[in-house]
Chains A and B, each alone.
Chain A
Amino acid sequence: MQDLTMQLRDTARSLLRDGKVGLVIGYEHGSVLLRTKPCFVRNADDTDRLVWSPLCENNIASYLLSIKGRTAVFVKGCDARALLCAISEGQIRREDVTIVAMPCEGVLDRRKLAERLQGRQISGGTVQDGKVTVVGQGFSESYPLSELLPVGCVHCTHRTAPVFDIRIGDAAPEIEAIDDYADVKAFEALSPDEKRAYFRQELASCIRCFACRQACPLCYCVECFVDQTQPTWYHKTGDLSDTLLYHVVRALHLAGRCVGCGACSRACPMGIDLTVLNRRLLRDVQELYNYVSGLDPEAAPLLSAASPDDPQEFIK
């Protein structure tokens, strides 16, 4: 991992020094233990701030939407796919971005770690060689990273960028299990009453901060439908119906675009598992239209293409 960080810094330094890019986006250590934050480097002398580890959890593709000029970005597989999706939608110009593919073994799910810690405070922690090691007063424990992965990483099918300009490290090992959407199928089998009850319970804690929308690299509308007032689709009430409406529409607006990175769920301060909605659409999109987003920057977006061969079993 140290090695990757060194290679990353070298790459960033030479890209900036040679004037190939004006800006590098990566990650640096955060002010909180076991956290990183996005890092923006414009000067070749500052590249030592950059780091690479399974703590690099934000989907940094989102920053490219608001940045002009040539930029290099150090990406995990999911970041790259979101970026390629935004390119295919005409939001980012491919020639402006230098995609540096990094190997990814999944990111650390802070909530799963917190469950293991059961309220104990940690004073230090590292993630290295697939092991998460934490130390605190009177304890030192180590867990396999594979047990502390968020939903998005558990089901990840593309760990390294499918399209890139530079690759650092080896390509991540192939994923043995192809995503079979067993979780989606299990949820689908519930009765409508059970599904309603689940969302009633799950969304009751939603405070509508829209962090899920902000964290998503593909939620880039200049004016979100929740902010529109003429007409008002989304009402600022305490009614759970409006919360559900928001979450349904958020997921729908990502249909055929979502890459399943799970940035929305990780951003949620209330710990709501939003992937339940997103993964249903991922499954449908793949099963009905044989479409996987974010693999080809030239591909037409799913919902702006039509085909007479689409399944029509639901049509009267």
Chain B
Amino acid sequence: MTIVDQQTSTREIETPPESDWEPRIVAFICSWCSYTGADLAGTAGAQYPPNVRLIRVPCAGRLDLLFVLESLQRGIDGVLVVGCPPDHCHYGEGNLLAQRRFRLLKGLLEHVGVEPGRLHFSWVGASEGPKFARVASEVVESVRSLGPSRTLVRGMYAASRSALVE
């Protein structure tokens, strides 16, 4: 897997296939333990659905919550954030800072109508390839059962707005 520019990676998946819908999930993954873990899943031949696109970040703590919101606006159906397990952060406590921020974001997004099953957070260590494959599969199934995302998606509110004016 190569590291792709965030702009390209999200643009590429901007047009949703209307028929046979497949969930599209963005995973923001720490490049230290977690990405190594995901890499291990690959080299070990562990199977997980191809619906998850990885975006490598230098630390889970690098995750700006705007990344998650931008993804949802562009029509991503689910977001997974993967950080190094507690005590394993390369920078000390970036993963714990990310966890607090993410928890508050998750609560607030649920408050505006995002289903709880769309936002996920996981700890994956460098040796936990199978765990990464399992988490990725679980997230895809969870999002699949919810159907396409309907909150925050750009353009989605346009029709309803004109209806409201009438």
Interface residues of A (CB under 8 A from B): 187-188, 192-193, 195-196, 199-201, 204, 225, 233, 238-242, 244-245, 248-249, 251-252, 255-256, 276-277, 280-281, 284-285, 288-289, 302-304, 306-308, 310-312, 314-316
Contact = CB atoms under 8 A, between A and B. Distances in A.
Contacts of A204: 161, 164
A238 B100 CA distance: 32
A281 B108 contact: yes
A183 to B, nearest CB: 12
Given A233-B70, A281-B104, A288-B103, A316 B112 contact: no
Given A200-B164, A277-B108, A285-B104, A308 B96 contact: yes
A158 B157 CA distance: 39
B4 interface: no
B66 interface: yes
A201 B165 CA distance: 10
A225 B69 CA distance: 13
Given A200-B164, A284-B108, 8 more contacts: A192-B115, A233-B66, A241-B73, A241-B153, A244-B112, A281-B108, A303-B101, A308-B86
Given A248-B109, A280-B108, A241 B164 contact: no
A200 B164 CA distance: 9
Given A187-B111, A284-B104, A303-B97, A245 B160 contact: no
Interface string B110-138: 11111100001111000000000001001
B107 A284 contact: yes
Interface of B: 65-66, 69-70, 73, 86-87, 93, 96-97, 99-101, 103-115, 120-123, 135, 138-139, 150-158, 160-161, 164
Given A281-B107, A316-B121, A196 B73 contact: no
Given A200-B164, A244-B112, A303-B101, A239 B66 contact: no
A200 B104 contact: no
Contacts, number: 123
- Interface SS of chain B: helix, strand, loop or mixed? helix
A199 B151 CA distance: 10
B112 A199 contact: yes
8 contacts: A195-B111, A200-B157, A238-B161, A241-B73, A242-B73, A251-B108, A256-B104, A277-B111
B154 to A, nearest CB: 5
A196 B112 CA distance: 6
Most A CB within 10 A of own CB, among B93, B101, B110, B157: B157
A255 B157 contact: no
List the 8 shortest-distance A-B pairs measured between CB atoms, nearest first.
Answer: A306-B96, A240-B157, A196-B113, A316-B122, A195-B113, A306-B93, A280-B111, A192-B113
Contacts of B112: 195-196, 199, 244, 248, 277
Nearest to B106: A314
B86 A252 contact: no
Most B CB within 10 A of own CB, among A196, A284, A303: A196
Given A255-B104, A308-B87, A245 B73 contact: yes
A249 B72 CA distance: 13
Nearest to B131: A316
A311 B107 CA distance: 13
A239 B155 contact: yes
B122 A193 contact: no
A201 B86 contact: no
Contacts of A288: 103-104
B52 to A, nearest CB: 13
Nearest to A188: B111
Contacts of B104: 252, 255-256, 281, 284-285, 288
Nearest to B96: A306
A190 to B, nearest CB: 9
A290 to B, nearest CB: 13
Contacts of A187: 111
Given A249-B66, A314-B121, A192 B151 contact: yes
B113 A193 contact: yes
A315 B99 contact: yes
Contact of B103 (A196, A245, A308, A314): A314
A239 B103 CA distance: 27
B87 A245 contact: no
A193 B150 CA distance: 9
A255 to B, nearest CB: 5
Contacts of A195: 111-113
